[in-house]
Structure 1
Amino acid sequence: MLTPDGARLIARAAEALAAGDELGVGARLRAAGAPPELVAAAFTQAELRHRAMAAFGRAGEMLFTRAGLEQSTAEAAARHRAARFAGFGRVADLCTGIGGDLLALAAAGPGLLAIDRDPAHLRIAVHNARVYAPEARIDARCADVRDVDLAEVDAVFVDPARRADGRRLAAGACEPPLAWCFALTERVAAVAVKAAPGLPTELVPPGWEIEFVAEGRDLKEAALFSPALAAGAPRRATVLLGGAEDAVATLAGYPDPDPASRGGAAAGPGAGGGRGVQGRRPGRARGRGDGGRGDGGRGDGGSGDGGGAAEAQAPGGSARPVGEPAAYLYDPSPAVTRAGLVGELGRRLDAWQIDPWIAFLTSDRPVETPFARLLRVEASLPFDVRRLAALLRPMGIGALELRRRGLAGDVDTLRRRLLPARRDLVPGGPAITVIMTRHRDRPWALVCVAQDGGPGEVTDPA
């Protein structure tokens, strides 16, 4: 596949796939003398390149394996992470795979040591890195990463395997083990480890930074940075925004305290609001406590509106208010919730939680943010299927999305009870999102409209 003949076969295969003529073109290529195994490999590469286009801007010039593509880092995430290695001389990429991170490190300019025990993956990785950085200095070695001398390396990135025999390993399990990866700091101070997003955070040593990365609403991965690479805050939530510049948004701070430490989460009774929104704004913290170094803010007592809120102290004195559902609801990115930064996001949005155990935030005014989906609340009420159905059916709904968080129940069954048939949907009608959750430890429902006006769908993200 690395020869000119191989490249021509892949190009023919790609044309055949686009035209839907794989069988015909494959037969003609074999009849013309192309070895059957090369024809099959060419069609595999063409298919994988097509699949990889969403992750790599130059996928049409790269090579892949199925397993390697499934476990590779997308280009935008790799570039974001590679920025941490700016200023380091020689960087080792351990467990290189097909080179998703190697190509970003190569484009950043340092000398590279690439290690993988799969010779095919290693050769593919070097090819892919040179697609992006033709002059990259890459010392590629086929070896077990545990046997490599790192004496002349300034920084290390390691992406341990999280699959074995085609199956995903349990959260926190990998090969080499995480304990080995963390122990690399005994030889090289600057170490970054790619991990599964479901990683139990208690496995990470003190002083290491944990970053969770999402693309849209899809949580992709975690990255762990040793103290020498940490950027100040112990947790980060990063959202890949896409676009030509691979834009990203990052929220950094201290993880939220355990809700059990709140010392009472119930807010005072609300005053009742317009458009079916119950309650008004609770007391909010004075002082945001940037990065956990705040001034020990306190609540202002609800400004006399009867909607007082309980608060919990985060490290550094920041407060986490809890109060009544208001006019707008924020559904944080899974990167934010996984990083434990819902409280930090709430402080930046001037918003509060509706329940200490639930990640939704609410506020009286809308603030666009890349870290949460913004919804306008049309109605807020105790959860009752019959009351919800009576509320929804006259609304002329065009699309219905159900989101369940903190409540048990089958979404499909609930949807049938709310709108028995899809014929009940009205073309061109509003896209409604029904949030089934908890408020003050009570089952609660919020009927919402997305601020972007996008279509809804029936989902069960819980």
Structure 2
Amino acid sequence: MGYEFTREDVRYLTSEDGIAALAEVDRLELSTRTHLADIGRVRARFADRSGALVETVLLRRRAVGKIDGGRHWLFTDDALQQTTPSSVARRRADRVAGRAVHDVTCSVGAELSALVGVASTVIGSDLDPVRLAMAQHNVPGATVVRADALVPCTRDTVVLADPARRAGGRRRHDPAALQPPLPDLLEAYRGRDLSVKCAPGLDYDALEWPGEVEIVSLDGGVREACLWSPGLAGAGVHRRATVLTADTAWELTDAEPDEIPEREPGEWIVDPDGAVVRAGLVRHYAARHGLWQLDPRIAYLTGDAVPAGVRGFRIIEQLKYSEKALRQELARLDCGVAEILVRGVDVDPAVLRPRLKLRGSASLSVVLTRIGRTPVAFVCAAGVRA
């Protein structure tokens, strides 16, 4: 659990003395190797301010690559863990461009920062006075007030919310255990234009959300689900996958066609991005790129070409899966290193890999899945990006 900041800490850290002290502490390595010695130096120099200074420097270092300008922000540990990456926040801000927006759980201001200059008016509120003070420092262009997210205090605004899913570093999975509870939040803003950031594992089918559910991935990892009320949803869209990388951004929705052929495996296997899988848009993705499924119930796709920028696995051999048969085939192909991908069969790659007794020189990929009820192994050239 991280250092417990106070409003007095925030006042100090944003003062001339605090800014100079942070710069001094930031010159220290603060690694595992030097931790004790560095902490001793900070305590000797700054006494009771040392905890706030060291924690802020470490949090700012962790924020690099996640939050634009994060080396100058103030955070708490829990806030940084849940803070929306800037690239994701910017994508959401684009969808409400030109509107007046109220982030009712603004925390330290990541969403506010993306909204400034995009939305016509930017308001942030939170119950935590420390995080509010941090948000005011981090995003001076937003209006920040203390308010309960479950008590509407603005009119004619798009409402953004990000219920807390962490406490003391632990995740909460029950929607009713979030802060504020998701059912209460949805009821409080019923009939309003509303966007709610949720955990990607949310059972949104059970939620029976009437608008759009957007699943967002960043650099290959699924980051969040976002609920968009009907007034903010795309026309005819109930599911959307948004895929963000350092170089590209693209979207796929259930308003697109999903008709695909049934064929034998092609030359390549493609594992769709996790956002596509979580959003239930595997067939739509296949239709867009001229692919088809290995099996109708499995998310692996196949085809004779790989979509641009996507990693594909060129099939060398296909065999009915057994551990013995796979071991023999990999030995025949002189395999010494195997990447193992599994979907639809009960196999643990970490357990299987040493039992394959790989001693060759080639690097290959193995895709374990099933076609119908038959477990199948595809031995492939090492995955390559088109």
TM-score between the two structures when normalised by the length of structure 2: 0.89
Select the residue among 101, 105, 123 that pairs with 2:111.
101
Contact 1:354/1:440 (CA < 8 Å) preserved in 2?
no
Q: What RMSD over aligned residues (CA atoms) do the two structures have, in Å?
A: 2.3
Select the residue among 245, 248, 251 that pairs with 1:241.
245
1:217 aligns with 2:228: no
Contact 1:368/1:374 (CA < 8 Å) preserved in 2?
no
Give ranges in structure 2 of 5+ residues lacking alignment: 1-12
Contact 1:96/1:114 (CA < 8 Å) preserved in 2?
yes
Per the TM alignment, residue 91 of structure 1 is displaced from its structure 2 partner at its CA by 1.0
Distance 1:410 1:31, change over 3 A: closer
SS at match of 1:368: coil
SS at match of 1:322: coil
Q: What is residue 44 of structure 1 aligned with on the other side?
A: 55
Contact 1:325/1:380 (CA < 8 Å) preserved in 2?
no
Select the residue among 159, 167, 172 that pairs with 2:162.
159
Per the TM alignment, residue 171 of structure 1 is displaced from its structure 2 partner at its CA by 4.7
Per the TM alignment, residue 395 of structure 1 is displaced from its structure 2 partner at its CA by 2.9
SS at match of 2:95: helix
Select the residue among 36, 40, 43 that pairs with 1:27.
40
SS at match of 2:306: coil
Select the residue among 12, 31, 48 that pairs with 2:24.
12
Deviations 1:376-408 (A, max 9, x none): 111111112222111112434353211111111
Structure 2 matches for 1:191-206, cutoff 5 A? 191-206=194-209
Q: What is residue 8 of structure 2 aligned with on the other side?
A: none
Select the residue among 127, 131, 137 that pairs with 1:117.
127
Per the TM alignment, residue 216 of structure 1 is displaced from its structure 2 partner at its CA by 2.4
Per the TM alignment, residue 147 of structure 1 is displaced from its structure 2 partner at its CA by 2.6
Structure 2 matches for 1:138-287, cutoff 5 A? 138-151=142-155, 153-164=156-167, 166-173=169-176, 174-186=178-190, 188=192, 190-232=193-235, 233-243=237-247, 247-254=248-255
- What percent identity do the matched residue pairs reach? 33
Structure 2 matches for 1:294-313, cutoff 5 A? none
Q: Which amino acid in structure 2 is aligned with residue 340 of structure 1? A: G
Q: Which amino acid in structure 1 is aligned with residue 265 of structure 2? A: P
Q: What is residue 271 of structure 2 aligned with on the other side?
A: 331
SS at match of 2:384: coil
1:436 aligns with 2:383: no
Distance 1:399 1:11, change over 3 A: farther
**C-alpha separation in 2, matches of 1:326 and 1:171:** 42
**C-alpha separation in 1, matches of 2:246 and 2:375:** 37
1:59 aligns with 2:63: no
SS at match of 1:229: coil
**C-alpha separation in 2, matches of 1:365 and 1:353:** 14
Contact 2:211/2:233 (CA < 8 Å) preserved in 1?
yes
**C-alpha separation in 2, matches of 1:361 and 1:408:** 19
Structure 2 matches for 1:273-422, cutoff 5 A? 291-292=256-257, 318-370=258-310, 373-397=311-335, 399-419=337-357
Per the TM alignment, residue 148 of structure 1 is displaced from its structure 2 partner at its CA by 3.7
Distance 1:438 1:172, change over 3 A: farther
**C-alpha separation in 1, matches of 2:62 and 2:332:** 43
**C-alpha separation in 2, matches of 1:451 and 1:167:** 35
1:3 aligns with 2:7: no
Deviations 1:246-297 (A, max 9, x none): x42211225xxxxxxxxxxxxxxxxxxxxxxxxxxxxxxxxxxxx25xxxxx
Contact 2:98/2:119 (CA < 8 Å) preserved in 1?
no
Q: How many residues align?
A: 371
Per the TM alignment, residue 180 of structure 1 is displaced from its structure 2 partner at its CA by 2.7
**C-alpha separation in 1, matches of 2:75 and 2:282:** 38
Contact 1:355/1:441 (CA < 8 Å) preserved in 2?
no
**C-alpha separation in 1, matches of 2:114 and 2:137:** 13
Q: What is residue 283 of structure 1 aligned with on the other side?
A: none
